[in-house]
Structure 1
Amino acid sequence: MLSIYILTYNEELDIAACIESAMQSDDIIVVDSCSSDRTVEIARRYPVRIVQHEFESHGRQRTWMLENIPPKNEWVYILEADERMTPELFAECEQAIQNPNCIGYYVAERVIFMNRWIRRSTQYPRYQLRLFCHGKVWFTDYGHTEREVCDGATGFLKETYPHYTCSKGLSRWIEKHNRYSTDEAKETLYQLENGTVNWQSLFFGSSEVERRRALKDLSLRLPARPLLRFLYMYFILGGCWDGQAGLAWCVLQMFYEYLILLKAWEIRDITQPSLETKALESKVI
């Protein structure tokens, strides 16, 4: 058996379906970031544990919950409110945890947008570390999201999980990605200053995770990033075959990339004034 952590913040539209999809587990823990809607009220209708903790960042929230909310079982799975656990995935998780050679497993998401699986332009299969042995994995911040630190070997599961990325409407999606773009802009500037492109992982990475992360490091250094991202997703990955939903998805991702670029310029100009600005200030003085 495995424990399931469910991360929430104002998820009254999703939390019931999410919990019900995870009911095969005998230990469900809702970690709520102090929601202001009916998330906690709805979650209390189910046999789950509920713990609230003020949100700082994705990486810190995950690390805090792992350190402060001990699970009933040795193995845990992290689920977000707009995602679902499937019976097939749960069964594979139960089989996977019998393997003594791995401490964690990556699982691919199926992005559901406008009631359609966006298979091509989302880089499917795109993996996230979700199943792992408690005490063997921690998380650090990277941009708006997190990256895992693993104390041992990891593997990949075949089953996938649905991710309803726009289940609460386009307004919520845009609001959320407006916040995300600020963190991504800061990470972009940090990586341009301190990071490098791992060319070996880009071309010869042993997994999709290694290749994708190297590709992101490269993309930060390319000109016209928003346009390149659209062309890559829509034509090279095949988003044009995902119909109207695929076009909308690619346009939104281009818009998101442009927000990141604009905010990076804004942050850089505020924190690092140009020589011309400094010269003007010195003349005034």
Structure 2
Amino acid sequence: MPTISIAMIANNEEKNLARSLGSAAWADEIVFVDCGSHDGTEVEARKYPVKYFARPNSPAVYINKQFAVDQAACDWILILDADEEISPALKEEIKRFIAAPGAVAARMPRRNFYFGRWLRHGGKYPDTQLRLFKRGSARFLPLPVHERLAVDGPVGRLEEPLLHYPYSDEEDMRRKLAFYTEILTRSYALKDRGRLSVLLRPFTRFFSAYILKLGFLDGTRGFKTALMDFRTVLASALLYIRQKAERPTDK
């Protein structure tokens, strides 16, 4: 039977680790990279049989995710975020997949839990993720936002969803949204986006999620989720425009 490593990075995820690491306990190895946490993340992580590493946090998330992948020693690697959970059904499907010949990686759907409910629309489901791959067959691309794996070989698909709980409480929500605002602003700067382009983005994002992707079918929670994304993207746009205006120009 092929072996599997689970690779996880975390920043101040103490409240989520019992669920995420508990769901990963069946793996042959868990690589855990603590990215500058100042809560009880290390104490909670060490309750499980993890290979623990401490690294500085980085807005370029792919850097620490690739570091975690590079430490893995098993035949297959599954990337698991600290606010996610592997269901028993997904665990069994993963075991069957890695034992079968053919693909070197797999995509899987992801269910997202917002405001006390699993969402089914607005881009929150199936929210397909590429997370499982043979060691040596994939690497993270150096992207500032929304890290992505490049795979060398055929990619299969799993049916069982990964479970995602984005925010443990309001404080966690504020912290993560501030981080997303920072990395999105950074991506605008790297691409030197125009002011009009970034100002239109929150409105097109809301229209796409709530109307085109049927977010309104999730009721009040669908609206609140789309509005939360709108506010985050708008905050990034306004911060970027302010920073651009303050940037010295060459004469």
TM over 0.5: yes
Summarize the alignment of residues 233-244 of structure 1 with structure 2, pairs less than 5 Å apart.
Answer: 233-244=209-220
Summarize the alignment of residues 83-122 of structure 1 with structure 2, pairs less than 5 Å apart.
Answer: 83-122=84-123
In 2, the alpha carbon distance for the partners of 1:223 and 1:88 equals 43
Q: What secondary structure, in the 3-state scheme, does the structure 2 residue paired with 1:80 have? A: coil
Does residue 186 in structure 1 map to residue 186 in structure 2?
yes
Offset, 1:233: 1.6
In 2, the alpha carbon distance for the partners of 1:271 and 1:222 equals 17
Offset, 1:75: 0.2
Does residue 253 in structure 1 map to residue 229 in structure 2?
yes
In 2, the alpha carbon distance for the partners of 1:16 and 1:41 equals 11
Q: What secondary structure, in the 3-state scheme, does the structure 2 residue paired with 1:112 have? A: strand
Unaligned runs of 5+ in 2: none
- Counterpart of 1:49? 51
In 2, the alpha carbon distance for the partners of 1:101 and 1:272 equals 54
Does residue 161 in structure 1 map to residue 162 in structure 2?
yes
In 2, the alpha carbon distance for the partners of 1:267 and 1:154 equals 41
- Counterpart of 1:174? 174
The letter of the residue matching 1:77 is L
The letter of the residue matching 1:119 is R
**TM-score normalised per structure 2:** 0.88
- When structure 1 is superposed on structure 2, of 34-43 and 158-167 the one drifting more is 34-43
> In the TM superposition, what whole-angstrom CA distance separates every residue of 1:42-80 from its partner, at most 9, and x where no partner exists?
22222332222222331111112222x232x21011111
Structure with more relative contact order (C-alpha pairs < 8 Å, separation 6 or more): 2
**TM-score normalised per structure 1:** 0.78
Classify 1:103/1:39 alpha carbon distance in 2 versus 1 (closer, same or farther; 3 Å).
same
In 2, the alpha carbon distance for the partners of 1:136 and 1:192 equals 33
Q: What secondary structure, in the 3-state scheme, does the structure 1 residue paired with 2:147 have? A: strand
The letter of the residue matching 1:65 is A
> In the TM superposition, what whole-angstrom CA distance separates every residue of 1:151-183 from its partner, at most 9, and x where no partner exists?
22222211111110111x223222222222232
Offset, 1:89: 1.0
C-alpha contact 1:77 1:132 (8 A) present in aligned 2: yes
In 2, the alpha carbon distance for the partners of 1:52 and 1:186 equals 24
In 2, the alpha carbon distance for the partners of 1:26 and 1:40 equals 20
Residue 32 (structure 2) aligned to one of 30, 43, 50? 30
In 2, the alpha carbon distance for the partners of 1:21 and 1:265 equals 42
- Counterpart of 1:135? 136
- For the aligned residue pairs, the C-alpha RMSD in angstroms reads 2.3
Offset, 1:239: 1.5
In 1, the alpha carbon distance for the partners of 2:154 and 2:190 equals 29
Offset, 1:130: 0.8
> In the TM superposition, what whole-angstrom CA distance separates every residue of 1:160-214 from its partner, at most 9, and x where no partner exists?
11110111x2232222222222322232344466xxxxxxxxxxxxxxxxxxxxx
In 2, the alpha carbon distance for the partners of 1:237 and 1:116 equals 18
Q: What secondary structure, in the 3-state scheme, does the structure 1 residue paired with 2:216 have? A: helix
Offset, 1:272: 6.1
Q: Mark the structure with the bigger radius of gyration.
A: 1
In 1, the alpha carbon distance for the partners of 2:248 and 2:219 equals 43
In 1, the alpha carbon distance for the partners of 2:96 and 2:248 equals 53
